Structure 1
Amino acid sequence: MASTVPEANGAQADVIAFLENPANYAPAPEGVDRIDTHGAIVFLAGDYAYKMKRAVRLPYLDFSTLDQRLRACNREFELNTRIAPELYLRVCPILRQPDGMLSWQGAGEIVEYVLIMRRFEQSQLLDEMAIAGKLDEKLMVPLAHHIVDTHGSATVHKDVDPAKSFETILEHVTAALTRDISPIPVDDVAAYRAAASAALRETTPLMRERARQGFVRRCHGDMHLRNIVLLESGPTLFDALEFDETLATIDVLYGLAFLLMDLYRRGMRRHACQLFNQYLQDQSGIRHLEGLALLPFFLSCRAAIRAMVGLDRKANVSQDRTAAIDDDVRQYFAFSRQFLTPPRARLIVVGGLSGTGKTTVARMLAPDIEPVPGALHLRSDVERKLMYEWDPEEPLPESAYAEKVTAHVYQRLGDKAECALRAGHSVIVDAVFATESERRDIEARARKADAEFLGLWLTAPADVLYARVSAREGDASDADVQVVHQQLSYDIGVVDWQHIDVDAGPDEVRLRAAKIIGLPQHN
């Protein structure tokens, strides 16, 4: 249960009043805005932000003494200057002078510490952008690059047993959700604990193997939309978890799961799917796909933790806001249960000649293909560039399209699809699939992985194909009019997949494809 330490609380009341007064800053701002969280208070004054740790003790966090708050401030500064050096400035003491007044300097007694940061507009937080409906889906691409870079430079911990950490997490979460202030029925919490514990037992061997492979690292630990800001340099993580190394030393996929869950919970499925696919594309290797078997459990834990944190927030809000918090807690808890029971994996293949819009259709369908956060999208054009470690938008030499190379591309597509399917995750593959053997092989991959298969074959008149490839800009495909002309001469044979004429336009094609697959009927 949350608690504020009495002897620290009085001192913090003075500090809060001090930090809320514009006259105590130089130059004095017109006003001071305040942001409250369960573990800190942030004061926005002029060009800077001043973050003070709350004197609280929670099951997973202890800021109850001044020394503990100082260590937390220093650790937060150390961690975040690595990922957002332009934001974090210094840790500063607040002192009580002999006359009892508080000040930023002098020879008095230190009564508190604050972390000083450069202020940014709150509208630049990805959380605020999402609320305002201004979070561009395209921003997920550079965000994925940033996360991959952050994970790539994070310290590896091969000796960690992730399963033990999750046992503790489940214990804390279920204890919190059965408190008197919880809106969740006790029986529902017990059912969740049983299901989550079973999922943990099943996935423990893979968790430990991934730790040995180097996937457990000292990550951000608290990666959701409110801890990402859009700076001139691009989307930037900040406010990394500083108070518990165990909670932040995690599988990189568990780190990503927090952000995926946050996007999904807000109804931003396309954003979540785009981020998920770009992250895995940047990683390239097949070993990352094996970890998808852990994703349902990871998402579930993240949602359950947010439900727990919501209850902790109730101690710091007015009575009129508790009903909204209870609604959030119920929603997070419902998601935590939903994520534990993902549907059977599916393999959807979108084939057709260049210019039929395979990638457009695949991208439109992927977010709605369960499980969360949508299907893994594999694309032959991208896979070929990855093979050569080539810029996706730069054309490859002609030799990269030799028959043997193409065969290798399809082999890689099949291998990756089968790996993800065996991990229980759905896949959508888009490639020409001009030969009978290519089509039969990809179908066989689904059977080997005990996954459902459905093939779509897109068709269009030659003039439409020519027009579409001529209009392409900034795309991974190197196909041009000459390539389309060559493909039109292929003896493709009988294609027994579902045929869709794409001349009707992308929205109509999406609706037709969604109906065939059994997805929601929306544009």
Structure 2
Amino acid sequence: MTEAEEQAEIIRFLADPDTYGVGSVDRIDTHVNHVFLAGDRVYKMKRAVRFPFLDFSTLAARKAACEAEVALNRRTAPALYEGVVAVTRRTGGRLVFDGDGEPVEWVVVMRRFDQDTLFDRLAGRGGLDEPLMRGLADRIAAFHQEAERRPDQGGDKGVRFVVESNMETLEGPAAGPLDEEKVARLGSTWRDSLDRLAPLLERRRESGFVRRCHGDLHLRNICLIDGRPTLFDCIEFSERIACIDVFYDLAFLLMDLEHRNLRALAGTVLNRYLAMTADFEALAALPLFLSLRAGVRAMISAMEGEEQSDDALCGEARAYLDAALFYLEPRQTRLVAVGGLSGTGKSTVAAALAPHMGARPAAAVLRSDVIRKRHFGRAPEDALPKDAYTQEASAAIYEQLMGYAAAAIAAGHDVIVDAVFARPGEREAIAAVAAAADVPFLGLWLEASEETLVARVGARRNDASDADASVVRRQQEYDLGTLDWRRIDTGGSLPDTVAAAKAAIDSD
């Protein structure tokens, strides 16, 4: 019996409801797996295939891949991945799970979950929101922090492999639906960007930012398990694809969100990740990483569209190609400071402005409250004691704030700094950061009545700010000095406030 014939027999076995004692079995086929959904379990069988990026052509290779899939995915989804079972043949020829006979195939067994909790489906019906995406960013940041360091992979050489392998396919098997001139321009721009970023990529590799990541971190590979964002189905078959810069791993999710017209949520993920990691130098590589992720999607959609004669997929491939070029267009970097007393809506306005600026998917938002929590080793929503708010502590926080802003600006990314900025010296210092980098600066000063401010801080829940009504009243006594920032009254509706702030940026 040939490998193909034996796999066909095993597929019939796995597709048979009697194998599991259930009424029906759903089957999903991909390029590398046959997936069978039976009862409350999922059974994944590797196809006996060989591609340039993987080799499942032997039983031993498929067993190793199954074991790697379970081990690697248990890092993020231990409740989903139950183990690997053998399909064995009895003396009479009958197939069974884990019998006494020799294994003829190996299968990954997973706990079945509600497919409606997949993040791509949630996105399709408007089910993703800021709290959920902040939780997802926290999970990704923690996963990256814990992941195995792999300085033997990635860096300039690793990214160059991605560029050249993508171009080989875009100019070859995927070329059909794509504009030849655009593909050539993309390849040239990728290579120019890589030459410029090579020292940074190497420095990051040597500093531990190349890790055994997920490798395929888009919305379809994220779900809710017990109400928590859960990453699953990571790349198990290629270290070159999975052992990458952590920001390249994150970039797939950011690009996927923006492609679905969810730019604000992409900004939420980016800024929460930055809040947890302070990895601001990586922003310099983000345009290239986003472009590469879009290029990979263009390649896959083009090949599938050609194979299936699907005009919609071919159109999507062209849209991804345009996005890959768009991410690498030069942009003017700028710095915006949003100041005001507690309760004026600084953080709300900053978050709304972030996706309105040129940087993709959004400007980096540096919130003093969050930086203070990180400085004291606390999560953003954890309360701090009063001694964390002394004049000396606040001076240290503002110094960090200026340093982070300078780093993000140096990386070529737009920055919004969210802090009180009550002292003239603090306002002068943030303006000086922009001047030193020779980028445009705009200061926005938000204000509202004391009654409004007290009501707002009293209504806060699960927020990074520890300010209460007593802080608001004490701030009314501040001597603000001369205010030459653009003043915005935030006492009205939120849409009016955000519109005024956007208008100030657009007119600057």
Question: What TM bracket, shorter-length normalisation?
Answer: over 0.9
**Pairwise mapping of residues 26-65 of structure 1 onto structure 2 (< 5 A)?**
28-65=21-58
Question: Whole-Å Cα distance in 1 between the matches of residues 154 and 489 of structure 2?
Answer: 52
Question: Whole-Å Cα distance in 1 between the matches of residues 303 and 308 of structure 2?
Answer: 13
After superposition, the C-alpha distances for 1:391-412 in whole angstroms (9 at most, x for unaligned) are: 4344433333222222222111
Residue 419 of structure 1 deviates from its aligned partner by 0.5
Unaligned runs of 5+ in 1: 1-5
Amino acid at match of 1:324: A
After superposition, the C-alpha distances for 1:116-162 in whole angstroms (9 at most, x for unaligned) are: 11111111111221122212331112212211221122111234352
The CA RMSD measured in Å over matched residues stands at 2.2
Q: For 2:322, which of 326, 334, 341 is the aligned residue?
A: 334
Counterpart position of 1:373:
361
Helix, strand or coil at the partner of 1:165: helix
After superposition, the C-alpha distances for 1:361-400 in whole angstroms (9 at most, x for unaligned) are: 1111112223112111111222222222234344433333
TM-aligned CA distance change 1:48 to 1:487, over 3 Å: same
Counterpart position of 2:171:
178
1:231 aligns with 2:250: no
Amino acid at match of 2:105: E
Question: Whole-Å Cα distance in 2 between the matches of residues 499 and 303 of structure 1?
Answer: 40
Amino acid at match of 2:6: A
**Pairwise mapping of residues 103-182 of structure 1 onto structure 2 (< 5 A)?**
103-106=96-99, 110-179=103-172, 182=176
Question: Whole-Å Cα distance in 1 between the matches of residues 167 and 385 of structure 2?
Answer: 57
Question: Whole-Å Cα distance in 1 between the matches of residues 140 and 263 of structure 2?
Answer: 19
Residue 254 of structure 1 deviates from its aligned partner by 1.0
After superposition, the C-alpha distances for 1:3-48 in whole angstroms (9 at most, x for unaligned) are: xxx95433333333332221222xx222211223222221111110
Counterpart position of 1:506:
494
Counterpart position of 1:21:
16
Q: For 1:460, which of 419, 432, 448 is the aligned residue?
A: 448
Q: Is the 8 A contact 1:159 1:212 kept in 2?
A: no
Residue 318 of structure 1 deviates from its aligned partner by 5.0
Residue 424 of structure 1 deviates from its aligned partner by 0.8
Amino acid at match of 2:286: L
Question: Whole-Å Cα distance in 2 between the matches of residues 334 and 240 of structure 1?
Answer: 27
1:242 aligns with 2:236: yes
1:11 aligns with 2:6: yes
After superposition, the C-alpha distances for 1:241-274 in whole angstroms (9 at most, x for unaligned) are: 1111121111111111111111111111122111
Question: Whole-Å Cα distance in 2 between the matches of residues 491 and 304 of structure 1?
Answer: 53
Q: Is the 8 A contact 1:257 1:295 kept in 2?
A: yes
Amino acid at match of 1:282: M
Q: For 2:74, which of 78, 81, 87 is the aligned residue?
A: 81
Question: Whole-Å Cα distance in 2 between the matches of residues 110 and 36 of structure 1?
Answer: 22
Amino acid at match of 2:318: R
Q: Is the 8 A contact 1:354 1:465 kept in 2?
A: yes
TM-aligned CA distance change 1:37 to 1:94, over 3 Å: same
Helix, strand or coil at the partner of 2:491: helix
Residue 101 of structure 1 deviates from its aligned partner by 4.9
Amino acid at match of 1:32: V
Question: Whole-Å Cα distance in 2 between the matches of residues 314 and 18 of structure 1?
Answer: 31
Helix, strand or coil at the partner of 1:504: coil
Q: Is the 8 A contact 1:296 1:342 kept in 2?
A: no
Unaligned runs of 5+ in 2: none
After superposition, the C-alpha distances for 1:312-365 in whole angstroms (9 at most, x for unaligned) are: 5458x755xx22221222222221111122522221111111121111111111
Helix, strand or coil at the partner of 1:503: coil
Q: Is the 8 A contact 1:339 1:372 kept in 2?
A: yes
Question: Whole-Å Cα distance in 2 between the matches of residues 107 and 491 of structure 1?
Answer: 83
Question: Whole-Å Cα distance in 2 between the matches of residues 432 and 492 of structure 1?
Answer: 10
TM-aligned CA distance change 1:429 to 1:323, over 3 Å: same
After superposition, the C-alpha distances for 1:431-479 in whole angstroms (9 at most, x for unaligned) are: 1111221111101101222322111111212222222223323222222
Amino acid at match of 1:19: L
Q: For 1:362, which of 332, 338, 350 is the aligned residue?
A: 350
Number of residue pairs matched? 506
Question: Whole-Å Cα distance in 2 between the matches of residues 132 and 100 of structure 1?
Answer: 48
Amino acid at match of 1:396: L
Counterpart position of 1:3:
none
Residue 311 of structure 1 deviates from its aligned partner by 4.1
Counterpart position of 1:495:
483
Counterpart position of 1:429:
417
1:305 aligns with 2:296: yes
Helix, strand or coil at the partner of 1:82: coil
Q: For 1:444, which of 432, 435, 441 is the aligned residue?
A: 432
1:479 aligns with 2:467: yes
1:403 aligns with 2:397: no
Q: Is the 8 A contact 1:342 1:371 kept in 2?
A: no
TM-aligned CA distance change 1:96 to 1:314, over 3 Å: farther
Amino acid at match of 1:77: V
Q: Is the 8 A contact 2:177 2:302 kept in 1?
A: no
**Percent identical:** 46
Question: Whole-Å Cα distance in 1 between the matches of residues 382 and 11 of structure 2?
Answer: 55
After superposition, the C-alpha distances for 1:144-189 in whole angstroms (9 at most, x for unaligned) are: 2211221122111234352112222222211222235531122221
Question: Whole-Å Cα distance in 2 between the matches of residues 324 and 17 of structure 1?
Answer: 32
Helix, strand or coil at the partner of 1:306: helix
After superposition, the C-alpha distances for 1:39-64 in whole angstroms (9 at most, x for unaligned) are: 22211111100111223322222223
Question: Whole-Å Cα distance in 1 between the matches of residues 272 and 17 of structure 2?
Answer: 44
After superposition, the C-alpha distances for 1:288-308 in whole angstroms (9 at most, x for unaligned) are: 111211111111111111222
1:200 aligns with 2:194: yes
Q: Is the 8 A contact 2:154 2:243 kept in 1?
A: no
Question: Whole-Å Cα distance in 2 between the matches of residues 342 and 52 of structure 1?
Answer: 45
Residue 107 of structure 1 deviates from its aligned partner by 5.2
Q: Is the 8 A contact 2:87 2:99 kept in 1?
A: no
When normalised by structure 2's length, the TM-score is 0.94
Question: Whole-Å Cα distance in 2 between the matches of residues 447 and 37 of structure 1?
Answer: 53
Q: Is the 8 A contact 2:154 2:240 kept in 1?
A: no
